[in-house]
Structure formats: C-alpha cells, structure tokens
Chain A
Amino acid sequence: MITKELVAASAEPLILSLLAKGESYGYAIIQEIKKLSGEKIEWTDGMLYPVLHRLEDRGLVQSRWAEAENGRKRKYYSLKVNGKKALQKQREQWLTVHGTLAKLWEEKYV
C-alpha cells in the first residue's frame, strides 16, 4: 500500500493524466486509478473532490453537469489547455524524480 503522503502528492498528476485521456467523473476516476495501481493507491473517496475543485479553481480543468445513464445528474470533468501545460510540467518533474531514483537504485544493486 502507498503511504498517505505519497498518495496526496501524486493526486494531482494522476487526475490530470487520467483526464488527458478524456472526460470523466469522480467515481470513475477513483475506480480507474484503483485498477491501474493494482489497488495499491487507495483514496478516501470524498478527498478526490476538493482536489478536483482546486484544479478547477486554478483553471486546469473544467466541469459540466450532464445526465448519466441511470437518469441522475453527474458532474463531468475535462482538461483545459492550462491543464495540459501543467501536466507536461508535472510529468517532467516526476520523470526526473523517477529517473534519479532509478539510477541510484541501479548503482546500489549493480
């Protein structure tokens, strides 16, 4: 299981990356992340929404209410241009961290 701190730190890039694939909504985002991480990234479901709202306030994502297949209204989120730029920056940072760790661990075990 991933630690709480790392889950919190990775929430934004994970959401932005997922929305880069297309429009989605809260419950689907959580299920998708859970599936992709092999159930190792576990969010308290409600905590996703403040992050989504923060991203919306910062102009990185936009939302719209639409009718779901069950007839109830559902809020969908999609990435904005600024969101794509922010994702690119975050991607570079995470890849730098990942690359550095990979090199360090490679040296250690070679």
Chain B
Amino acid sequence: MFDLEEAIAKWREDMRGAGMTRPEVLDELEGHLREDYQRRLRDGAEERLAFDAAIQKIGRPAALQKEFDKIAVFNWFTFASDAFLSFAGIPKRRLVSGVNDAADQSGPGWAAYVRAIFFIAPTLAAWCLAEIFVVPQVNAIWRKDLVMTLGANTSFDHVRHLDHAISSLISTNFLWIVAVVALCLGLMEWRVKFWPRYRRVFLGCTVFTLNVAFLVSLFIQFLAAALAASWLVHLTK
C-alpha cells in the first residue's frame, strides 16, 4: 500500500542527503511535487507510478543541489567540507546513498570495504615498513643528549616524540585495533538500520583521514632520519 507522506518524508531525506538542507527550499519543492502528483492521479496514473514520475520530473537531488550551489553565497566552512569530501572520494555533498536516485552507483556493501582496503593498503604498508626498518634506527641515533648538544629544534623533537608515542601505541596493539574495528563494523552491518546509507561516506572519510595521518607520520620519521644523518656526519668530522 503506497503511503504518500512516508514517500515524501523519504524524498526529503534524500534531498537533505544531497546537501539541500534549507527547509524553505524543501517546502517549496514539496509543494510542487504534491501538485504534480495530484495532477498525475487525476490523469489516471497509479499512486506509486504517479509519485515516481513526479520525483523524476522534479529532478535528481544532486543535479538540483548543483543548480542551487550556483546561486549560493561563498562560505569557507562549506568550501572546506566540500574539499575534504572530494579528497575522500565522496562526490560533493552526496553524504548518503539515495534510494530514489537513479544515478546512485554506490554499489554493494562489500565493494565499499574492498575500495577502503585498496586505498589504505599502500600507505599502511609504507608506514609498517618504516616502523620496522627506519624508526628503530632513528630512535637509536636520536638521543635526547645529542639533540640538546647540537641545539636541534626542540619543537620538532616534541612533535617527533608525540608521533613516535602514537605510532608505538598503534604498532604494539595493531591486531587488537584491527579486531575492534572489524567487530564494530560487523555490529554496524548487523544491527544498525541506517548504516548502509552512511557506510560509503564513513569509510571514505576514515580512509582519507588515516591516509593523511600515516603520511604525516612517515614524513616526520623521514625528516628525523635526515636530520639525524646530517648530525652523524657532523659528529664524525
């Protein structure tokens, strides 16, 4: 049995998911949708078909948002969040997977996990190799007294120390962390009803953030290695 109010609530949710959050705009579009729906019913269409045709005629949420974006006033927060989402591989403002949106190609749930693993694997591998082969060597060289003696930048020393502490915590508990994350994701898949709608954006943003964190950590370690090497050369002279 078709429920118009429920269908409209769902449509509004999809519109909000595409970034159309202004209630006044949604009210106006909803009024249009209702009128078109009623006209189609009068023309003899079946309820569900009339509604589907009306939402198709009003346009895809993402395309509508794009048009409204053209008249929007520039906002730094919106710009920054859009930039973050774009780098995370999430099309602009497509924060949820729209059920009524024919262009939605987010694919099955497992594909999101495969993509996430594929995108994080190279950085994670590089970080693990650095933790095994580079970091112990740097730590052996990078002694506090050496740093003080040579007048090295103490703020960088603090940053390196913090990075080393966090990296050690992760590497020593790596398997536990992986197990807890897998358990949480499993629970979300099993118990949380709205999870499939937010799965892609959550995984995308998490992978992007972790990639950035791993790369920053790698950069700090390699910078420390380069500085330590130059000090060793200085000492041998």
Contact = CB atoms under 8 A, between A and B. Distances in A.
A68 B68 CA distance: 25
Contacts of A68: 31
A22 interface: no
Contacts of A50: 64, 67-68, 70-71
B57 A75 contact: no
A75 B29 CA distance: 10
Interface residues of A, number: 17
Contacts of B160: none
A77 to B, nearest CB: 10
B35 interface: yes
B100 to A, nearest CB: 13
A94 interface: no
Nearest to B61: A46
A54 B71 contact: yes
Contacts of B57: 44-45
A26 B30 CA distance: 11
Interface in B66-82: 67-68, 70-71
Nearest to A27: B35
B31 to A, nearest CB: 5
A51 B67 CA distance: 9
A73 B31 contact: yes
Given A45-B36, A46-B58, A26 B28 contact: yes
Contacts of B70: 50, 54
Interface in A69-91: 72-75
B52 interface: no
Interface of A: 25-27, 44-47, 49-50, 53-54, 57, 68, 72-75
Contact of A27 (B36, B59, B63): B36
Nearest to A75: B28
B139 to A, nearest CB: 58
B27 A73 contact: yes
Given A27-B35, A53-B68, A54-B71, A47 B59 contact: yes
Given A25-B31, A26-B32, A54-B71, 17 more contacts: A27-B32, A44-B58, A45-B59, A46-B32, A46-B63, A46-B67, A47-B67, A49-B25, A49-B29, A50-B67, A50-B68, A50-B71, A57-B71, A72-B34, A73-B31, A74-B31, A75-B27
A75 B31 contact: yes
A46 B29 contact: yes
A53 B71 contact: yes
Nearest to A50: B67
Contacts of A26: 28, 31-32
Interface in B212-230: none
Contacts of A47: 59, 64, 67
A41 to B, nearest CB: 14
21 contacts: A26-B32, A27-B31, A44-B57, A45-B32, A45-B36, A46-B32, A46-B64, A46-B67, A47-B64, A47-B67, A49-B25, A49-B64, A49-B68, A50-B64, A53-B68, A54-B70, A72-B34, A73-B31, A74-B31, A75-B27, A75-B31
